[in-house]
Structure 1
Amino acid sequence: MPGAGDLKYFKKLGRSLPSLGMGTWGIGGGYWSPDTSGDAEWVSALRRGLELGMTLIDTAEMYGGGHSEEVVGEAVKGFDRDEVFIVSKVWPTHARRDDVVKAAEASVRRLGTFMDLYLIHWPPAEVPLCETMRGLEEVVRRGLARFIGVSNFGLELIEEARACLSREDVAAVENKFSLLDRRDESSVVPYAEREGMLYLAYTPLEKGQLARDSFLAEVGRKYGKTAAQVALNWLIKLNPVVPIPKASSLAHVEENAGAMGWRLSDEDWRAISKRFSELKA
């Protein structure tokens, strides 16, 4: 498990989580399309990540048509369930109240365990947001998940979602955030920190683009780290951000884990920020 220096406390969750998690997009298949060919490798990679302290795993019903959740369920077997934090997401085509609950029940069956956090994957287009949020509250009431949140929501929509709730609150937001996509840096990220929410950053390495960046590699040489590890550590240094890089192979998982256990100096963090401030993904 990660050391105290690599844990972040979240008031809305009432607990600490590791500063780095694991994403599973592409694990178990693609867009609503199951693929079992890599199951053994994927399970092995996720289990290694758990051993290295990345005990937060993010998945979704859409990933592989639910097979990603089955892979995650297999990977967490044998680990202390209280030490593992599982996040899953409901697709907006299941955004009606009863459909949210049915989708959550199906996710729990595939995972073989409850969800710690359940998110609406994208803002619903065909259903009133309040209906979806009431469905998420029902998911918690039935013990299918401990906490609820939103994904791909801007600040205004987050506040709208919170206003819909009577028993629960939005405990987390998951948005795309990286050195090349910093739209949330001055809005959603400080809002989440102020409100005690978890902020999950997906696609933190921009599908490998940042792992190949020469400037980040140069900074990394000072620390004995790779460009990818530097890019992830830049995010880790921000509260309440927890990056969730893809955990598709043992090599990637082990490299990602090397982003924990150290911190960029303030000077290097600012230099990286300045370097990428004008760049777009």
Structure 2
Amino acid sequence: MEYVTTQGVDIPALGFGTYPMRGETCQTAVHQALETGYRHVDTAQMYNNERAVGQAIAAADVPRDDIFLVTKILRQNLAHDDVLESVEESHGRLATDIDLLLIHSPSRTIPVEESIAAMNDLQKRGIVRHIGVSNFSVGQLQDAIAASDTPILTNQVEYHPFKEQANLLEFCIENGVMLTAYSPLAEGRVIGNDRLKGIGARYGKTEAQVALRWLLQQEQVSAIPKASSPAHIQANFDVFDFELTDEEMTQIFDLQGGLLTRLQTALGL
């Protein structure tokens, strides 16, 4: 396993996404992921699977301290007291403390300062270790950083070979914020891409494995692919035994177009 170190915290670079799985399907998949070697698990109030995730973690033959557990607050729960109440409920469903608590998406009506203040309170209570955000723009992330008494550890956003996030990633690198890539396989659209397939053929890897490797080789980036079958869970994990060249990284960045040159500069390529 590789790690992203941000704000002095080591976070497994490859996580396990759980949306939209629920119930026994979710519990079984998380159990399989932990057995495979994943140590970073992502859930959310919106997913209605926190209880299943918590049960899988409790049943796993893995020390709890080795698992980095993330959940997210629903947008409609972002008022101060709603944050406190809803996260207490998440804590109960998970039956364990929360390593990283995120605002799932910015509120259109509630100031981020109000939500962050409640999240800081939860940190002081000890049921939340770290906080962050999701689906925030650069400006919104700046506001969250300014509002918090503690570091904003990550901004979780859609990021994959077809989704350009150059400005945001550059800001994250400059400010010590991890960018967590959700939908890292573009909801399956990486499969069949000729460029990814050609690169993968050199290493005996699939298009999906190449896409994940591309993400993990970027500074301050983690990825949380979702899979339900044991074969796909294992395949997504088998990305630590090869490394893309700078030229191959550039070829994949070129699928995005846009601000390629600026991003390459930020990443030192």
TM-score (norm 1): 0.86
The structural deviation recorded for 1:19 is: 2.1
| 1:72 matched to 2:68 | no
The alignment partner of 1:99 has SS state of helix
Q: Which runs of 5+ in 1 are unaligned?
A: 29-35
The structural deviation recorded for 1:59 is: 0.6
**Counterpart among 205, 208, 211 of residue 231 in structure 1:** 211
| 1:148 matched to 2:131 | yes
Distance across 2 between alignment mates of 1:174 and 1:25: 14
| 1:91 matched to 2:87 | no
Distance across 1 between alignment mates of 2:66 and 2:170: 27
Residues matched between the structures, number: 256
The structural deviation recorded for 1:101 is: 0.8
The alignment partner of 1:89 has SS state of strand
Distance across 1 between alignment mates of 2:80 and 2:255: 45
Deviations 1:225-281 (A, max 9, x none): 000000111111111110111132222211111123321111211122224426xxx
The structural deviation recorded for 1:109 is: 0.7
Does the CA-based 8 Å contact 1:117-1:148 persist in structure 2? Answer: yes
| Shift in alpha-carbon separation, 1:237–1:246, aligned structure 2, 3 A | same
Report the counterpart of residue 266 of structure 1 in structure 2: 246
Deviations 1:169-207 (A, max 9, x none): 21211111111111x22x221222222222210011111
| 1:256 matched to 2:239 | no
State the identity as a percent: 33
Report the counterpart of residue 43 of structure 2 in structure 1: 59
Does the CA-based 8 Å contact 1:18-1:53 persist in structure 2? Answer: no
**Counterpart among 3, 6, 17 of residue 7 in structure 1:** 3
Does the CA-based 8 Å contact 1:73-1:110 persist in structure 2? Answer: yes
Q: Which runs of 5+ in 2 are unaligned?
A: 259-269
| 1:43 matched to 2:27 | yes
**Counterpart among 100, 105, 114 of residue 131 in structure 1:** 114
Does the CA-based 8 Å contact 1:200-1:242 persist in structure 2? Answer: yes
The structural deviation recorded for 1:208 is: 0.5
The structural deviation recorded for 1:94 is: 0.5
Does the CA-based 8 Å contact 1:69-1:111 persist in structure 2? Answer: yes
Report the counterpart of residue 25 of structure 1 in structure 2: 19
The structural deviation recorded for 1:8 is: 2.4
Report the counterpart of residue 31 of structure 1 in structure 2: none
Distance across 1 between alignment mates of 2:177 and 2:37: 21
Alignment-mate amino acid for residue 100 of structure 1: V
Alignment-mate amino acid for residue 135 of structure 1: A
Does the CA-based 8 Å contact 2:101-2:132 persist in structure 1? Answer: yes
The structural deviation recorded for 1:119 is: 0.5
The alignment partner of 2:226 has SS state of coil
Deviations 1:90-129 (A, max 9, x none): 0110111111011111111111101100011010112122
Report the counterpart of residue 84 of structure 2 in structure 1: 101
Distance across 2 between alignment mates of 1:133 and 1:233: 33
Distance across 1 between alignment mates of 2:192 and 2:124: 45
> Where do residues 165-244 of structure 1 align in structure 2 (5 Å cutoff)?
165=148, 167-182=149-164, 184-185=165-166, 187-244=167-224
| Shift in alpha-carbon separation, 1:121–1:82, aligned structure 2, 3 A | same
Distance across 2 between alignment mates of 1:16 and 1:261: 20
Distance across 1 between alignment mates of 2:12 and 2:143: 29
The alignment partner of 2:72 has SS state of strand
The structural deviation recorded for 1:69 is: 0.9
Distance across 2 between alignment mates of 1:95 and 1:7: 30
Does the CA-based 8 Å contact 1:20-1:260 persist in structure 2? Answer: no
Alignment-mate amino acid for residue 93 of structure 2: R
Distance across 2 between alignment mates of 1:240 and 1:136: 23
Distance across 2 between alignment mates of 1:168 and 1:275: 36
Does the CA-based 8 Å contact 1:229-1:255 persist in structure 2? Answer: yes
